[in-house]
Structure 1
Amino acid sequence: MKRYEYKFIKEGIKIGFDTNKKIEEAENEWNELGNQGWKFCKEGNGVMVFIRELDE
């Protein structure tokens, strides 16, 4: 039976006017999560949910 773990990340609005910088920071954060094996699952109510399978 497969087992999973979940990561909940609160969505926050970054302060500042540099949209490119905000996008780059978000991309770097998501790439780091991907490198750690996390996959995007869903978003809602100000929270993003990521999932990854546990090694048995």
Structure 2
Amino acid sequence: MKQYEYKFVKSKLKVGFDYDKKVADMEAEWNELGSQGWKFCTWANDVMVFMRERQ
């Protein structure tokens, strides 16, 4: 039977007005999580939930 683990990441509202930089930072963070096997699940109440299959 497949088993999963979950990672909860609190959404950080970064100070500043550079929207493009915020998007680039978020993309880099998500790509890092993806390279570790995490898959985005949902986003609610300022918390992002990622999951991956346990080995």
TM-score normalised to structure 2 length: 0.95
Give structure 2 stretches of 5+ with no counterpart: none
* Equivalent residues in 2 for 1:39-50, closer than 5 Å: 39-50=39-50
Q: Distance in 1 between matches of 2:21 and 2:12?
A: 15
Q: Which runs of 5+ in 1 are unaligned?
A: none
- Which of structure 1's runs of 4+ aligned residues deviate more than 6 A? none
Matches within 5 A, 1:9-48: 9-48=9-48
TM-score (norm 1): 0.93
TM-superposed deviation, 1:19: 0.8
How many residues align? The count is: 55
